[in-house]
Structure formats: C-alpha cells, structure tokens
Structure 1
Amino acid sequence: MELQLSTPALLFSAITLLMLAFTNRFLAIASLIRGLHKSYLEAQDKESIVKQIHNLRIRLRLIKNMQLSGVFSFLLCVICMYLLFHGFTEAANWVFVGSMASLLIALALSMIEIQISTRALNLELGDMEQIYKKGSSSLDFIFKKDSKKDEE
C-alpha cells in the first residue's frame, strides 16, 4: 500500500480532538487540586486530602505524558506530510508508523488515567455507602426518598 498525502492528514482531526479531551481533563484536575488545597488549609483531618492529592498528582503526570505523546504524534504527522510532499516515501512510511505508535501510547495512557479516576470515584462512593448503609449494598437510600415523594 502506498502512503498518500491525505492519509496522515486524516489524523489531524483525530489528534486535535484527543488533545482537546486531554486538555479538558487537565483543567478539571487543576480545578480539583485548587479546591483540595483550599480544603487542606482549612481541614482538621489532612490525611484523606493528602491521599487524594497524591492520586491527582499521578493523574496529572499521566495527562502530561498523554499530551506530550499526542503533540509528538501531531508533529510526526506534519513531518510525514512534508516527506511525502518531497517524494521521500520510504522515510514518510516510517515516520507515519512512529506517529501512529505515539498516538497509541497516548491512548493507552488515557486508558490508565481513566482506570485511576474511576477507582478514586468508587472509593468516594464506597465511603458514602458505608455511612448510609442500612441493610443495603448500594445507594438505594437516595431513590427510596424520591419514591416516597412520588407516592404522595
């Protein structure tokens, strides 16, 4: 299969959307960290907040690496198009493979970050379930209150 100029150009929109998603994750975590910092300064029990900040630090590192891999993939796409434009097909093929590999790394890091964030949210939910647990193993207490209002 011969690599054409339009092939790496197709990745531009995909990489751009991924970078937007990665940036949104970064901004959300930055906001969480600012809120936790404020809570840390006011809180009596700081151990819980320190654990959350440690988790967010790991996620920040992952997001930074996701963004770097995405930018590197984007850069390699541009180089690939330049090489194709000047007729260096063999080199362009290898650069395109590198671009795809970098994009794959960014996606893998994204999966890891999603797993970490989901685990952290499950821990938060677990704390709430234990506080309100009355013979139930889920958050049914929320829905029981709503169903009583609906019956009236």
Structure 2
Amino acid sequence: MEIDLTTPALLFSAISLIMLAYTNRFMSYAQLVRALKEQYRANHSSVTAAQIANLRKRLYLTRAMQVTGTGSLLLCVVSMFFIYIQLYLVSIYIFGLAMVLLIISLAISVYEIYISVKALEIHLNDMDE
C-alpha cells in the first residue's frame, strides 16, 4: 500500500481545530482555578473543595489530550517527511501511530467531558441544599 503527501495532510485541519478547542478549554479552566481559589480562601466549603479536586483532574486530562494531539500532529509531519524521502512503508506505520494518538486524545476528551458533567452536578447539588 502506498500513500502520498495528502494523506497525512488531511489530518492537519482536524487536529488544528481539536487543539484550538483544547486550548480554549484550558483557558476557561485557568479562569475557573483563579475564581475557585479566591472562593476557597474566603469560605472553606466542602463543595468548593470538591470542585477544586474535580478541576485538578480535568486539568491533567486536558494536558494529556493536548500532548497526545500534538504528538499526533508531529507524527503526521514525520510521516510526510518519510513519504517525501520515499520510505513509504515507514511512513504508513508512523501515520498509523499518529491516528492512534489522535484516537487516544479524543477518548481522553470524552472522559474529561464526563468528569466536567460531574463538576456541574456538584454545583447543582449545592444549589439544592
């Protein structure tokens, strides 16, 4: 099986958009961390502590999503280089690995969304009390 330069290049736009979404998510978490820190200093509530613990986990997951997404993009470029120097078999395996990293990044994203919903549930349960 032979691939050409356009095959790995197809993932560029998808990965770029995903990375933009991950960066926006990270920026909103940074704002939330600052707000929760001030809230926790003012009032040491168990709800705020639970939110902080949840947010810490989400930050680590976001970092893992960004690392695997960036790794995927990097391997796409490496794959293109190997296509350019006509090492097609190596490029196919590297491109396959790039797709695996992208799948892992998306799976982590789904898990992080699940945890984000838990954070909102904590917040809503606090309103019920």
* Fold-level similarity (TM above 0.5): yes
Structure of higher CA gyration radius: 1
TM-score where L is the length of structure 1: 0.81
Aligned to 2:22: 22
How far does residue 2 in structure 1 lie from its aligned partner after superposition? 2.4
Deviations 1:119-138 (A, max 9, x none): 2112322333x34xxxxxxx
Aligned to 1:83: 82
Aligned to 1:34: 34
Aligned identity (percent) is 45
Aligned to 1:65: 64
Structure 1 pair 118–54 and aligned structure 2 pair: CA distance change class (3 A):
same
What is the letter of the counterpart of residue 112 of structure 2? E
Deviations 1:26-70 (A, max 9, x none): 011110010001111111x33322211110000000000000001
Matches within 5 A, 1:58-137: 58-128=57-127, 130-131=128-129
Q: Matches of 1:50 and 1:126 in 2, distance apart?
A: 14
Task: Give structure 1 regions of 4+ aligned residues with deviation exceeding 6 angstroms.
Answer: none
Please say if residues 47 and 126 of structure 2, whose CA atoms lie closer than 8 Å, have aligned partners that are also in contact. Answer: no
- Of 64-73 and 116-125, more deviation after overlay is shown by 116-125
What is the letter of the counterpart of residue 16 of structure 1? S
Where in structure 1 are there 5+ consecutive unaligned residues? 132-152
Deviations 1:75-132 (A, max 9, x none): 000000000011000000000000000000000000000000012112322333x34x
SS at match of 1:64: helix
TM-score where L is the length of structure 2: 0.95
What is the letter of the counterpart of residue 35 of structure 2? G
What is the letter of the counterpart of residue 27 of structure 2? L
